[in-house]
Amino acid sequence: MIVVTGATGALGRLVLAGLDPADTVGLVRDRAKAADLGVPVRVGSYDDPASLRGAFDGADKVLFISGSEVGKRVDQHRAVVDAAKAAGVPHLVYTSVLHADSSPLTLAAEHKATEEIIRAAGIPFTFLRNSWYTEMYAPTFQQAAATGSFVGSAGAGRVGSAARADYAAAAVAVLRGTGHENKVYELAGDNPWSYADVAATVAEVTGKAVSYQDLSSAEHRAALTAAGLNPHVVDLLVDVDGNLAGGALVDGSGDLARLIGHPTTSLRSSIEAVLGR
Name the domain count of the chain.
2
- Is residue 27 domain-resident? yes
Is the residue at 224 inside a domain?
yes
Domain limits for position 51: 2-130
Are 41 and 126 within one domain? yes
CATH of the domain at 231: 3.90.25.10
Q: For residue 58, is it within any domain?
A: yes
Model confidence pLDDT, tens digit, residues 56-89: 999 999 999 999 888 789 999 999 999 999 999 9
pLDDT score of 22 more than 90: yes
254 within a domain of the structure (yes/no): no
Indicate whether 88 and 27 sit together in one domain: yes
Q: Does the residue 198 lie in any domain?
A: yes
Whether 78 and 153 share a structural domain:
no
Instruction: Classify strands 149-152 and 61-64 as parallel, antiparallel or unpaired.
Output: unpaired
Is residue 19 domain-shared with residue 87, that is, in the same domain?
yes
**Domain holding 85: CATH number?**
3.40.50.720
Distance set, CA 2 to CA 66, 240, 275 (Å): 16, 33, 35
- Give the Cα separation of 50 and 52 in Å (integer): 5
| 54, 119: one domain | yes
Contact 57, 84 (CB under 8 A): no
Same domain for 49 and 152, yes or no, is: no
Is residue 257 included in any domain, yes or no? no
Please report how the helices 10-17 and 164-176 are oriented relative to each other, as an axis angle in degrees rounded to 10.
50
117 shares its domain with 152:
no
The answer on 233 and 196 residing in a single domain is yes
Residue 99 sits in the same domain as residue 20? yes
Note the pLDDT tens digit of each residue in 163-189: 999 999 999 999 999 999 999 999 999
Taking alpha carbons only, the member of 67, 63, 88 closest to residue 77 is 67
In a domain, residue 168? The reply is no
Q: Is residue 63 part of a domain?
A: yes
DSSP labels, 34-51: GTTS-S-EEE-BTTBGGG
> Within this chain, do residues 9 and 125 fall inside the same structural domain, yes or no?
yes
Q: What is the pLDDT of residues 206-254, one digit of tens each?
A: 999 999 999 999 999 999 999 898 888 899 899 999 999 889 999 999 9
Same domain for 65 and 12, yes or no, is: yes
Q: Are residues 101 and 152 in the same domain?
A: no
For the chain, the average pLDDT equals 96
